[in-house]
């Protein structure tokens, strides 16, 4: 099976009351860990690449690694551009073989967001590529941009119908209180399910996306706090909230920070136990294994997309 776009996976996820995991990938070991978990659990998958990841690996390497994952796993996998901020970047990803792109023009005014998103949709749809856009602004760190809590804004449900109608976009990321990065929520976690509900009512059967949805896998909290560099007491999004969102209109849940924490924790633990090792395979294999375990946990316990491939 070749790379797929997100149309069919979102339709099934919406009807089935589960969500697809969209995992950020930066290198071979992360891709292999995520894909091994999806293979174990027979889960459809979105592998997403940020512009930073594309620059780091150079565009062709990640695409070739993802193509290898498709060939080796036989799973339905979409290759998605995460947070494309210009038409040119989205066009370049599409020309490069991505099957799905996000145009994130959420930092622009509403009319400008519509204009840029529509331009991307026209280019993408002519080539069978699906498009995600964003309304509202999440707090946290995205690439080089740090959105402070004061500059973050919840999605206004009154804008969503006009936005979707005018742009023709295939899915919409909304801001309901999740945030990017490893340190979410200073106090108790709270998500605005009332906004999600209103969006769901206004856009029947339309796939919604949650960014900033890392949750720290419970089994690995101690390990990650000890070796992952997380601040003691830092909180991800509680898993029960993500499960609730997945049972509603949320069809795509974005996870990056959890993978970074797991990868780093495994490498740090390896060196603390084996300070003399210097063969990269010795410390990257445990990182790949921990990614696999964490992703399996999410596919089954958070997203509910196991056995849906
Ligand atoms: O939302 C942002 C993702 O976590 C990607 O992060 O741009 O540092 O690769 P990055
Ligand atoms: P996290 O930082 O919560 O993993 O969010 C990742 C994300 O939204 C990527 O687009
Ligand atoms: Zn994001």
> What does the pLDDT average to over 43-55?
97
pLDDT in tens, 14-26: 999 999 999 999 9
Reduced to 3 states, what is the DSSP secondary structure of residue 80? strand
What is the predicted pLDDT for the residue at 218?
80
Which residue spans within the chain are E strands per DSSP? 20-24, 45-50, 77-84, 100-103, 130-135, 140-142, 145-147, 171-174, 208-210, 250-255
pLDDT in tens, 63-103: 999 999 999 999 999 999 999 999 999 999 999 999 999 99
Q: Is residue 142's pLDDT more than 70? A: no
Angle between helix axes 257-273 and 28-41 (nearest 10 degrees) is 110
Report residue 188's pLDDT band, with 50, 70 and 90 as the boundaries. Answer: confident
Q: What residues pack around ion ligand 3 (CB closer than 5 A)?
A: 211
50 in contact with ligand 1, CB cutoff 6 A: yes
Query: Could you please report the per-residue DSSP string of 190-259?
Result: ---HHHHHHHHHHSTT--EEE-S-----GGGHHHHHHHS-PPTT-B---HHHHHHHHHTTEEEEEE-HHH
Q: Is residue 115's pLDDT more than 90? A: yes
214 in contact with ligand 2, CB cutoff 6 A: yes
Q: 180 C-alpha vs ligand 3 centroid, how far in Å?
A: 6
Q: Which of 170, 283, 294, 196 is nearest to 248 (CA)?
A: 196
Q: Length of the chain in residues, anyone?
A: 309
Torsion sign over Cα 161, 166, 171, 172 = negative
Point out the ligand 2 atom lying closest to the alpha carbon of residue 257: 4
Report residue 133's pLDDT band, with 50, 70 and 90 as the boundaries. Answer: very high
Please name the residue whose Cα sits nearest to atom 3 of ligand 2. 212
What is the predicted pLDDT for the residue at 50?
98
Point out the ligand 2 atom lying closest to the alpha carbon of residue 179: 3
At the topology level of CATH, where does 7-303 sit?
A: TIM Barrel (3.20.20)
CB 262 within 8 Å of CB 290:
yes
Residues 6+ apart with CB under 8 A from 230: 182, 183, 216, 224, 261
Please tell me the number of the ligand nearest to residue 49's CA. 1
Q: Is residue 159's pLDDT more than 70? A: yes
> What does the pLDDT average to over 27-36?
98
pLDDT in tens, 234-278: 678 999 999 999 999 999 999 999 999 999 999 999 999 999 999
Share of the chain above pLDDT 70, in %: 94
Distance separating alpha carbons of residues 103 and 121, to the nearest angstrom: 9
Question: What tokens appear for 271 in the block?
Answer: 């060196």
Q: Is residue 145's pLDDT more than 60? A: no
Q: 50 C-alpha vs ligand 1 centroid, how far in Å?
A: 6
Q: 273 C-alpha vs ligand 3 centroid, how far in Å?
A: 34
292 φ/ψ sector (left φ>0, alpha ψ -120 to 50, else beta) = alpha
Reduced to 3 states, what is the DSSP secondary structure of residue 305? coil
Point out the ligand 2 atom lying closest to the alpha carbon of residue 184: 3
Give the angle 141-147-149 at the CA atoms, nearest 5°: 115
Maximum alpha-carbon separation in the chain:
60
Domain boundaries, the chain: 7-303
CB 102 within 8 Å of CB 129:
no
* The one catalytic residue among 40, 82, 104, 170: 82
Pocket test for ligand 2, best of 48, 182, 257 (most atoms within 8 A of CB): 257
Please name the residue whose Cα sits nearest to atom 10 of ligand 1. 143
What is the predicted pLDDT for the residue at 187?
77
Residues 6+ apart with CB under 8 A from 16: 304, 308
Q: Is residue 60's pLDDT more than 60? A: yes
Verify whether residue 82 is a known catalytic residue.
yes
How many CB atoms lie under 10 A from the CB of residue 294?
28
Point out the ligand 2 atom lying closest to the alpha carbon of residue 210: 8
268 in contact with ligand 2, CB cutoff 6 A: no
């Amino acid at each position: 099976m070749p790379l797929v776009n997100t149309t069919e996976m979102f339709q099934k996820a919406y009807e089935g009351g589960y969500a697809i995991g969209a995992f950020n990938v930066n290198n071979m070991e992360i891709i292999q860990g995520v894909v091994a978990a999806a293979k174990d659990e027979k889960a459809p998958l979105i592998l997403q690449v940020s512009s930073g990841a594309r620059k780091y690996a150079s565009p062709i390497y990640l695409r070739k690694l993802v193509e290898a994952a498709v060939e080796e796993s036989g799973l339905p996998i979409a290759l998605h551009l995460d947070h494309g901020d210009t038409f040119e970047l989205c066009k370049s990803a599409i020309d490069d073989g991505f099957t799905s792109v996000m145009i994130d023009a959420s930092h622009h005014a509403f009319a400008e967001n519509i204009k840029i998103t529509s331009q991307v949709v026209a280019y993408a749809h002519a080539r069978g590529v699906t498009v995600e856009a964003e309304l509202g602004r999440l707090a946290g760190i995205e690439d080089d941009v740090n959105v402070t809590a004061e500059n973050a804004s919840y999605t206004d449900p009154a804008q969503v119908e006009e936005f979707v109608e005018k742009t023709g976009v295939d899915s919409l990321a909304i801001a309901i209180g999740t945030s990017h990065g490893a340190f979410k929520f200073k106090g108790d976690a709270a998500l605005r399910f009332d906004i999600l509900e209103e969006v769901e009512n206004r856009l029947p059967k339309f796939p919604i996306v949650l960014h900033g949805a890392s949750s720290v896998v419970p089994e690995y909290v101690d390990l990650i706090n000890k070796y992952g560099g997380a601040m003691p007491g830092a909180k991800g999004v509680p898993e029960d909230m993500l499960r609730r969102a997945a049972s509603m209109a949320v069809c795509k849940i974005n996870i990056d920070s959890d993978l970074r924490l797991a990868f780093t924790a495994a490498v740090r633990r390896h060196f603390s136990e084996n300070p003399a090792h210097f063969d990269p395979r010795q410390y990257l294999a445990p990182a790949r294994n921990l990614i696999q375990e964490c992703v399996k946990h999410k596919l089954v316990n958070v997203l509910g997309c196991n056995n849906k491939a």
